[in-house]
A and B are shown apart, each in its own frame.
Chain A
């Protein structure tokens, strides 16, 4: 623990020896391509496959009508909504799957796709989520019996009455309307699978880009159990994954079609999306419209918040939230500040856009929540003329007040927000920057400083509150130590680049004293790994990492018994230091863990179970609450309005750190995915539901060139309830960075009367508002 050992998995990745789903080639494997709708909303009048079937190599064109015969044309979403696998009569969004072409090679499949003729009757789509709630809006989900509007759900938390009363009487209230844009995870590897159904064995092996292989196996069994694919007949293998970020949690129609085709023809079927399909059809993230309000005294004591939000889910609620939380963990939106009054109300609507929204590198809508609270906090600072750092210091929850109960029902485990912000301000020379800014403003130059002091909520989660489709959100570890003292450990999670093969080994090494390089980590095969809910929402370390520590401690207890037997002393007479037990006061009388393990197989005490294995399913007692203090400095060109992030200091507190290098890597990557929605990324649709930037030429994923030189650091406030005091870090930077950047840009523009800008804040957007204010030509 605490050592930056090199990542064990990198040996294969940097040599091009990773094994991704598209590397899997099975004998007789067929290839699938998918015909997609050019319209956002249309009746399908006919599908003509005649020309496609003439192309050499094309063997079948599968439509919704074909799947309907097996009752496989619909599937459930993770939010217990329903989604078409293939349509029988209507398409509901552009790029929706319409038919699948099956061919003997990838080229024929694509040529076949071009040759399938679909006759559509376009209808006027509903694109604007606010208009979707109009009384005269057409009802989109006519497949749902008795549905009379486009409303999906309403959810609220907090004390409405007390909050309304506070806002009626408060000295100061501020309010902003915000949109957190619809974005896409755009992982390097797109989604895909090889579905391999063996007719003789009645067994399906599903190689699939999934962050949650075990849950997927259960879902497959639930959807296809009626055709004989019961859970013991299904094996899901998630091979190496080239980035997940939440986009590889859901089940997409392509997976189900591939399974159905393999089931029908008895041959393996490969389906791998291309880049545009991935961007246009797979689950989006965010797309929350938020009205954020804050009430305070005139001195700047925050008294309460009132948030109202509208979630645009597209055609179906295909989010990936814990069942009881349709708006995820958005209720962390009270932030890092000490006040007792809050009310949050959320509604969700259907529109003719692709379904979602997944938690893109974010613990279930925390990014949206943090953006709203950190922006509105800056808005308050601007309103009362107080420095935003000072305002935060005066309102932070104090270190000694943890565990702290939030007005929306959470119990924050630990934190030291003052220390984090002070460290960030010292690192960046906050006072010096404010001085420089004042001088520049006097000269008419635009420079901004933005702060974000966020609290995350990760590690879902305790079984009393957290489940997905009824399955509790524990996670698991199984450790087997071989007679020679080398180990293999398997987990219910699945790394997509997080470095589990290294960090899990480090946790076990810390607890058992076996060197990390002697511990092999495996995940992703449901036949071998223990059941778990997978890797997303920064939950791996808080849940499976904890399971590893607890399982290792079970083994250490067994080791103590064996050591006592071998040394002929009582257990109480033994002391542990990593790697060995020794007799108190006689350190030369010792048994190493390797000697003990060997004895477990060769010379174990009579009556004791032989072997050296342990499994633990860890049900966390609480979530963990990482935090961070980020400060960003921007300079804006007064003519072109180009925005340069000059400096960005990120001080994270993720509790105890397992591998500082991996944490730093996570933070760098996460910050870059934070600058992305802040300044570049948004999926844009026109009023007909056409995507306007459905390729990476126009969907602007930032690169190394756009990334500033990140300056990172940390404070350490261990989680009091996690076995090793860790909290999880993967998502903090993605969550915390966008408001720091937005706050910096708004700060730069505030002398011109600008109080808020929606992200992504582009030079064009800045130019437009400054043009309106008469500042630029």
Chain B
């Protein structure tokens, strides 16, 4: 309810924000939608000395297809993703995920950039990014750099972002024909973090052979996890019941869930197996 004291800046440009980051270093936190940071501050799990609010910086909220990519501005709200026609028609996986994030009030504020930059394996977008093999654009004093998603998540709340960088854009390779994607998580009640979540993108060629498989897992590892062996089990094969079962089994073996109030490690592995199977099927159905 009552956070520790902090200083607050609301710069009007990205350059100013980066300059403030340079100045305050580790003591500063970026405030985007605030729906991860502010609850932590209320509980005093986080007590940043400086908040740099980037909500006043123009040009960070957009959804567009350009240069073979779907580009999403980091400040794009979850509710904007839900309502976007491009997303709905071609990337329903985002709609699946957004609908499962918290509640409508939170989604009106929460941003896709914040969801990823928070570095929380329990957040939903990181697994989606893994499935779509996204790239993250970080802007710092030296300009922009592009980070492949597989190099982005380091550990618990830790990412490849430097203290003087701001996540500004997400790039998704445009999907071609024959591609489908889907996300689902099991939750104890609406708005909960995932007991287990699975994002899948699948492409098949005219002969029904899988040409692309991206599978990301939510909240069953210290970091968002790519189910690499599951992907390998699919690519180059026909998506039969057996192939899919093998992929599902691989993911349940490769994840590292911990026992907690949501269930035992064994239960979560079982749920990963069920969800991987279901999401491959759902993604395939959407092709």
Contacts and interface: CB of A to CB of B under 8 A. Distances in A.
Interface in A735-777: 762-764, 767-768, 771, 776-777
Contacts, number: 58
Interface in B249-276: 261-264, 266-267, 270-271, 273-274
A764 B263 contact: yes
B188 A762 contact: yes
Contacts of A777: 270, 273
Given A107-B2, A700-B188, A777-B273, 6 more contacts: A274-B2, A642-B186, A700-B189, A700-B192, A703-B191, A764-B264
A152 to B, nearest CB: 30
B267 A768 contact: yes
Contact of B186 (A114, A640, A692, A693): A640
B5 interface: yes
Contacts of A763: 186
B2 A110 contact: yes
Given A640-B271, A776-B270, A777-B270, A705 B262 contact: no
A411 interface: no
Interface in A275-317: 275-276
Contacts of A111: 4-5
Given A107-B2, A680-B189, A639 B274 contact: yes
Interface string B97-131: 00000010000000000000000000000000000
B1 interface: yes
Contacts of A465: none
Contact of B261 (A110, A693, A706, A776): A693
Nearest to A108: B2
B2 A698 contact: no
A551 B14 CA distance: 71
A695 B263 CA distance: 18
B190 interface: yes
A765 to B, nearest CB: 9
A767 B189 contact: no
A693 B193 CA distance: 14
Given A107-B2, A693-B261, A764 B267 contact: yes
Given A114-B4, A777-B270, A706 B186 contact: no
B263 A106 contact: no
A340 interface: no
A223 interface: no
Interface string B188-202: 111111010000000
Interface string A692-721: 110101101111011000000000000000
A107 B1 CA distance: 9
B44 interface: yes
Contacts of A566: none
A229 interface: no
B270 A106 contact: no
A771 B267 CA distance: 9
A703 B192 CA distance: 12
B46 to A, nearest CB: 14
Contacts of A764: 195, 262-264, 267
A692 B274 contact: no
A656 to B, nearest CB: 37
A706 B44 contact: no
A60 interface: no
Nearest to B39: A697
A705 B186 contact: no
Nearest to B266: A771
Interface in B172-198: 186, 188-193, 195
A38 B5 CA distance: 23
A218 B190 CA distance: 44
Contacts of B273: 777
A274 B274 contact: no
A703 B44 CA distance: 27
Contacts of A706: 189-190
Nearest to A681: B189
A692 B262 CA distance: 12
A684 interface: yes
B274 A114 contact: no
Contacts of A684: 261
Interface of A: 106-107, 110-111, 114, 274-276, 639-640, 642, 680, 684, 692-693, 695, 697-698, 700-703, 705-706, 762-764, 767-768, 771, 776-777
A762 to B, nearest CB: 7
A767 B191 CA distance: 22
B188 A680 contact: yes
A642 B261 CA distance: 16
Contacts of A702: 189
Most buried by B among A276, A700, A764, A771: A764
25 contacts: A110-B1, A111-B4, A111-B5, A114-B4, A114-B44, A274-B1, A274-B2, A639-B274, A680-B188, A693-B261, A697-B193, A700-B189, A700-B192, A701-B189, A702-B189, A703-B103, A705-B189, A705-B190, A762-B188, A764-B263, A767-B263, A767-B267, A768-B264, A771-B267, A771-B270
Contacts of B4: 111, 114
Contacts of B43: 276, 695
A762 B271 CA distance: 14
Contacts of A695: 43
Contacts of B274: 639-640
B45 to A, nearest CB: 11
A703 B2 contact: no
B118 to A, nearest CB: 15
A640 B268 CA distance: 10
A763 B192 CA distance: 14
A157 to B, nearest CB: 38
Nearest to A767: B267
A695 B39 CA distance: 11
Contact of A767 (B5, B192, B193, B270): B270
A392 to B, nearest CB: 32
Contacts of B195: 764
Contacts of A705: 189-190
A764 B188 CA distance: 9
Contacts of A114: 4, 44
Nearest to A768: B267
Contact of A692 (B5, B261, B266): B261
Contacts of B264: 764, 768
B261 A703 contact: no
B190 A703 contact: yes
A701 B189 CA distance: 8
Contacts of B266: 771
B264 to A, nearest CB: 8
A274 B43 CA distance: 10
Contacts of B191: 703
Contacts of A697: 192-193
Nearest to A701: B189
Minimum-distance CB pairs A-B, first 4:
A705-B190, A110-B2, A764-B263, A274-B1
A100 to B, nearest CB: 15
Contacts of A767: 263, 267, 270
Contacts of B262: 764
Contacts of A771: 266-267, 270
B40 to A, nearest CB: 11
Interface in B149-187: 186
A697 B5 CA distance: 24
A275 B2 CA distance: 12
A684 to B, nearest CB: 7
A106 B2 contact: yes
Contacts of B5: 107, 111
A111 B47 CA distance: 12
Contacts of B103: 703
Nearest to A639: B274
Nearest to A105: B2
Contacts of B190: 703, 705-706
Nearest to B262: A764
A697 B43 CA distance: 12
A692 B4 CA distance: 24
